[in-house]
Structure 1
């Protein structure tokens, strides 16, 4: 243990479920478990409703999911955006805050994300299978060697700077996506630049003359996702670097990595079961597996970016009584509005640089996330001392 570090009982270092005074039946900001995203540092309230029990907290507190599978999935976020600085949420949150004069609240958040801390919580879950949870009391006698307050603040500052950059890139990407969507709607939904021209009746309503309506199968090829490859890895490696995508929204449905791609062109995937109709643009080679449909546009008739935005603006649904699903035979008959190819190409030329920047930011965020996740346990455990890290960083 470094000379100036001390051994703490966790219950003396972290204020667990701190007292927050709220009035019964008055309305406050509310945070649900589903609001937490393991890939995001912060979470904002999704509702405002009367108090009826649950965890209570204030801005900057850490919400720590204590129930399976949310704990295993890493649902740990700092809460922000609470009206009047207070709120409440799921009974399945533990709330963490720094102890005044002992621990820094920012550091406490990163400590709660440290692999050993999370593993300890998982190992001390109790209850029946499928509904196991970790109790507050599990942390009472956990002892950890931790740095003094000033060093905590410096460590948290380094890790926060990385997270700030990640969040800034995400915000830029969101803005670029909104700009592209606004342009698409102005041209191809509201027909803004074409209002002075002649319109004709179609299966999709009134559209500019010389535009047409075709089926999805007429302008693209559709492939249902297959079984997972025999050779794959949970982590990206030299021999397994092609992403495998399945259904899901988090990380765009990343399942793992394999060695040979199935779809090589720029394309679109649409989730066919579970979260039906989730549309994602794919710009790199990949393999789609079960619960996905891959759509590869015919570039002579339509661009991938245009078709992506068209599908984003459709209400895509499935069929079935016991389990809803979207099938290729049903989906391929989807109607698509086809403007003149020059307009499609002009639109694509404008938005392509947006998506080049978006992809660049995503790659940078992957690097930053790996750096943060590597540094986190080493700084918090003292394996890498702050002074050593700063000196190494200054020379690089």
Structure 2
């Protein structure tokens, strides 16, 4: 067996120092810490471009890492040329004859790397990685052929996860259009009779209700963090807004923190059934997800419980389509918050004859949920294999077979 060689990051890579004019960038290829997703989620489009004339340049196959609060584990493998803010490190492979760029990416994708960066980070409230220390990080190099095998295996998993994400985005867009057709355009009812209402002309037989009178609405709470018995050994999902902003998923299975039955009893947190609609209502307002198991939340939520008159599908899209109104009723000096009192007064349509809408949405949501569950399983597999493949603990051929069975 060929012995793997240990090298430091500076032996095979460097920080890019190139610059690019901002007028050559778009929101699709400008990267800042704000549009990089936590927990190795890649990136989304930027909300705007910077006011400066130039920024750091990156190219395809470069590795971008957010250097602010490294514990968020923001990393992206570039598939295009673009620019990024100063707080994003651009690491470039200088020795392709020694290391495959994708393999290098997965070496920096690990918990071990981010833990290392945090161990040398400076600053309390806004820690930043020490660029010199980062370059001392040690990497084990197998032969190039093995690197290519490992990189290809892990890339195949990530590609499948990415495909599921794209597919779900399309399915959600179909469902949103379906909601608009039924509840905004009233397409299936155009040949019927309409009546005047607070919300304008609506199909005859429909009603306008205050949401607080239509369904059960719950807030949340936080058990005392100083009481170990409220947290240690907890089995009850306890969602915080961070769970929704990091996972960015229509359906959520697990929360980062869990509470005990005693913690639930001794706090204002409420237990609600699976497939309720959770919306963040404080600071970050308007993140929406559906819990797959019994759950509770902290006080930064409004949770909607569906009933026989109001389906999970209508409630989900009602929230999304009324987000401007929801934001407008928020108030607060330190941070914005939507109170239950104000929220309960919002108007919703109680519809009749929408069985077809529910049936179609159910099929779409079921497919979305299955894709999410598959991606969660693939993520677990990747996270299990990653450190073992990079250390040589697992035989590459054996791992290839295991992955091929899953994919």
TM-score when scaled to structure 1?
Answer: 0.86
Native 8 Å contact 1:38 1:77 kept in 2: no
**Aligned counterpart for 2:240 among listed residues 236, 241, 246:** 246
Give the direction of change, closer, same or farther, for the CA distance of 1:383–1:326 in structure 2 (3 Å limit): same
For 2:159 and 2:294, the matched residues in 1 are separated by 30
Residue range with higher mean Cα deviation, 188-197 or 105-114: 188-197
Q: Is the partner of 1:287 in helix, strand or coil? A: strand
For 2:157 and 2:377, the matched residues in 1 are separated by 10
Native 8 Å contact 1:60 1:79 kept in 2: yes
Query: Does 2:379 align with 1:385?
Result: no
For 2:357 and 2:399, the matched residues in 1 are separated by 47
Match of 1:373 in 2: 383
- Deviation per residue, 1:11-39 (Å, 9 max, x gap): 1222x2235463x5642242121111134
Q: Is the partner of 1:322 in helix, strand or coil? A: coil
Give the direction of change, closer, same or farther, for the CA distance of 1:148–1:179 in structure 2 (3 Å limit): same
For 2:129 and 2:347, the matched residues in 1 are separated by 50
Q: Is the partner of 2:315 in helix, strand or coil? A: helix
For 2:271 and 2:284, the matched residues in 1 are separated by 23
- Deviation per residue, 1:114-156 (Å, 9 max, x gap): 2222222111223x42233223322444443321222111101
For 2:305 and 2:349, the matched residues in 1 are separated by 17
For 1:394 and 1:202, the matched residues in 2 are separated by 57
Give the direction of change, closer, same or farther, for the CA distance of 1:141–1:325 in structure 2 (3 Å limit): closer
Native 8 Å contact 1:41 1:163 kept in 2: no
Native 8 Å contact 2:19 2:54 kept in 1: no
How far off is 1:51 after superposition?
A: 6.0
Aligned length: 378
**Aligned counterpart for 2:90 among listed residues 59, 71, 95:** 95
Match of 2:267 in 1: none
For 1:213 and 1:264, the matched residues in 2 are separated by 26
Query: Does 2:160 align with 1:165?
Result: yes
Give the direction of change, closer, same or farther, for the CA distance of 1:392–1:192 in structure 2 (3 Å limit): closer
* 1:293-372 to 2 correspondences below 5 Å: 293-299=302-308, 301-314=309-322, 315=324, 316-317=326-327, 318-340=330-352, 342-343=353-354, 345-372=355-382
Native 8 Å contact 1:43 1:79 kept in 2: no
How far off is 1:93 after superposition?
A: 1.3
Give the direction of change, closer, same or farther, for the CA distance of 1:303–1:145 in structure 2 (3 Å limit): closer
Query: Does 2:264 align with 1:263?
Result: no
For 2:302 and 2:22, the matched residues in 1 are separated by 47
Match of 2:57 in 1: 56
Match of 1:208 in 2: 203
Residue range with higher mean Cα deviation, 257-266 or 203-212: 257-266
Report the RMSD for the aligned CA atoms in angstroms. 2.6
* 1:216-227 to 2 correspondences below 5 Å: 216-227=211-222
For 2:400 and 2:218, the matched residues in 1 are separated by 51
- Deviation per residue, 1:189-244 (Å, 9 max, x gap): 112222333333221122223222111022101111122485446xxxxx755422
How far off is 1:283 after superposition?
A: 4.1
For 2:157 and 2:73, the matched residues in 1 are separated by 18
TM-score when scaled to structure 2?
Answer: 0.84
For 1:44 and 1:333, the matched residues in 2 are separated by 34
Match of 2:66 in 1: 65
For 2:316 and 2:222, the matched residues in 1 are separated by 25
How far off is 1:372 after superposition?
A: 0.6
* 1:83-232 to 2 correspondences below 5 Å: 86-98=81-93, 99-126=95-122, 128-228=123-223, 230-232=229-231
For 1:266 and 1:87, the matched residues in 2 are separated by 41
How far off is 1:378 after superposition?
A: 0.9
Residue range with higher mean Cα deviation, 185-194 or 152-161: 185-194
How far off is 1:322 after superposition?
A: 3.2
